[in-house]
Structure 1
Amino acid sequence: MRARCIGAILSVAALTTLAIPANAHAAAVACGGGVSTGRVAINGCISAQRGKEGRVYVREITAYVKARNTGPRAVNISYEAFFRVVSGGYWVKLGSGRTYVPAGGTLGPTEVGSSTRPCGPVKVEIRVHARAAGAAWSGWSTAGTAQCQT
């Protein structure tokens, strides 16, 4: 009886610990418009968190992918994320990956990659695309943010 009581208390403590966010200062994740590949809908998402390295203010820009499988079968998808500074920048690959999305299931937002940039009055943009096993690459889903909003 005493072991059950202790087990119940430890279970509640573990659930409480999981409910508290690990980083209260984490930036919000904003998603762009959706695109699709087969029966999988894809959204590219971005977050930007301000920080400081020495005397320089920086922005940690992170790309995410969000996927929804509307089909009756599970599917493997591959995805890639790219980053650029909007005014005259070129696209740089942040990362890629593969995952399994169950039938009728949702994935993410899942982090694909990140980049640390010095603060400046410029807008940055990410783009994400994906493909389901055997399908063509989707169109691009984009999302953007100002680098160092106050």
Structure 2
Amino acid sequence: MRLDRFAATLAAAACTVLAVPADAHAAAIACGGSVSTQGITANGCISAERWKDGHVFMRNITAHTIVTNTRPHAAYVEYEAFFRVVSGGHWVKIGNGRTLVQRRSTVGPIEIGNTDRVCGPVNVKVEIRVHVRPAGGAWSNWTGAATSQCQT
């Protein structure tokens, strides 16, 4: 129990210290809450980068995850990410993958997938959701993160 609490605190701290990347055009990563299953903890994270295609402003939304393994042995972890526009959108899968997480360690942020969207006339809120599972195990609940699609 104490180790699980420590791992959750460590994951939250890792999300907190994620700063804006050195590339001036790269977007900052914002993480949501954490979920866990069978000794594997994950945070869903989102980044959004605004760019222009001719006269049209676009937004590249990327889903990430940070995965912590509290088990006494390494584990392969599978993950999936889905995306939607909050106001009436439906969930669309944007990526999945698998990674090896060493015992009692954290990896990430791992980019899962991304999608480009046209910026609308208003600052539309978008969200991602991520879930994980250790190889051969059960899927966790969903963890998510949200951002405004076309903020400056």
TM tier, smaller: 0.7 to 0.9
- Give the structure 1 partner of residue 138 of structure 2: 136
- Give the structure 1 partner of residue 119 of structure 2: 119
Find out whether 1:64 has 2:64 as its counterpart: yes
Aligned counterparts of 1:83 and 1:94: Cα–Cα separation in 2: 7
Choose 116-125 or 82-91, whichever is displaced more. Answer: 116-125
Aligned counterparts of 1:95 and 1:134: Cα–Cα separation in 2: 19
Unpaired runs of 5+ in structure 2?
1-20
- Give the structure 2 partner of residue 11 of structure 1: none
* Letter paired with 2:101: V
TM-score by length of 2: 0.83
* Letter paired with 1:108: G
- Give the structure 1 partner of residue 81 of structure 2: 81
Tell me the secondary structure at the aligned position of residue 84 of structure 1. strand
- Give the structure 2 partner of residue 94 of structure 1: 94
Aligned counterparts of 2:24 and 2:126: Cα–Cα separation in 1: 24
- Give the structure 2 partner of residue 41 of structure 1: 41
TM-score by length of 1: 0.84
Aligned counterparts of 2:127 and 2:115: Cα–Cα separation in 1: 11
Aligned counterparts of 2:118 and 2:73: Cα–Cα separation in 1: 44
Task: Provide, for residues 102-122 of structure 1, a one-character-per-residue CA deviation record: whole Å limited to 9, x for no partner.
Answer: 001111001000001011221
* Letter paired with 2:132: A
Unpaired runs of 5+ in structure 1?
1-20
Task: Provide, for residues 58-103 of structure 1, a one-character-per-residue CA deviation record: whole Å limited to 9, x for no partner.
Answer: 1110000110011111000100000000011000000000110000
Q: Which residues of 2 match residues 17-36 of structure 1 at below 5 A?
A: 23-36=23-36
Moved segments of 4+, more than 4 Å = none
Q: RMSD value over aligned CA atoms?
A: 1.1
The offset of 1:127, in angstroms, is: 0.3
Q: How many residues align?
A: 130
* Letter paired with 2:147: T
- The structure with more radius of gyration: 1
